[in-house]
Amino acid sequence: MAQHNLLGKIGEKEAVDFLIKQGFTIRETNWRMDKMEIDIIAQEPGMVLHVVEVKTRSTDEYFDPMKAINSAKKHHMVASANAYINYYGLKCEIQYDVIILIGSPGNFQLEYYPDLFVPRLKTYR
């Protein structure tokens, strides 16, 4: 496994541990369907489903990890969440969160951005 992929997997594990400590139940990690993918699907007490994107970097010196959460990534997160809730027939609120980890294993700085964006509604005429 490439070094950056290994760092990403370790970061996702740290993100899962963080969410569990915050009281979340982890429903899925690395859920995939066709080209859809969600890093973490968590649920807090109640029926709010959290679709969590995790970005892990060894440094943010050259690139701000938040810039990776662009409109294309948001569209992918929403499409993947829709696929997930349709697949399981869920009726629930969805929240889109991002966790950024910067550093090295055992020495990450974690930043949690709950409810980072609300998808735009499409209307048809």
pLDDT at residue 123 in the model: 55
Q: How far apart are CA 43 and CA 119, in angstroms?
A: 19
- Does residue 23 belong to any structural domain of this protein? yes
pLDDT at residue 2 in the model: 63
- Does residue 125 belong to any structural domain of this protein? no
- Does residue 12 belong to any structural domain of this protein? yes
Q: How many domains does the chain have?
A: 1
pLDDT at residue 89 in the model: 94
pLDDT at residue 45 in the model: 79
- Does residue 80 belong to any structural domain of this protein? yes
* Residue corresponding to tokens 């970097």: 57
What residue numbers bound the domain in which 79 lies? Answer: 3-42+67-117
- Does residue 49 belong to any structural domain of this protein? no
Q: How far apart are CA 45 and CA 43, in angstroms?
A: 7
- Does residue 29 belong to any structural domain of this protein? yes
Instruction: Report the residue count for the chain.
Output: 125
The structure's pTM equals 0.88
pLDDT at residue 73 in the model: 92
| Closest listed residue to residue 43, CA positions, set 79, 81, 13, 76 | 81
Report whether 15 contacts 55 (CB < 8 A): no
- Does residue 60 belong to any structural domain of this protein? no
Tell me the mean pLDDT per 10 residues along the chain, length 125.
Answer: 76 96 96 94 90 88 77 93 94 94 91 90 61
pLDDT at residue 100 in the model: 94
Classify residue 74 by its DSSP letter.
H
- Does residue 75 belong to any structural domain of this protein? yes
pLDDT at residue 124 in the model: 62
**Sequence-separated (6 or more) residues with CB below 8 Å from residue 88:** none
Report whether 65 contacts 55 (CB < 8 A): yes
Q: Is 40 helix (H, G, I), strand (E, B) or coil?
A: strand
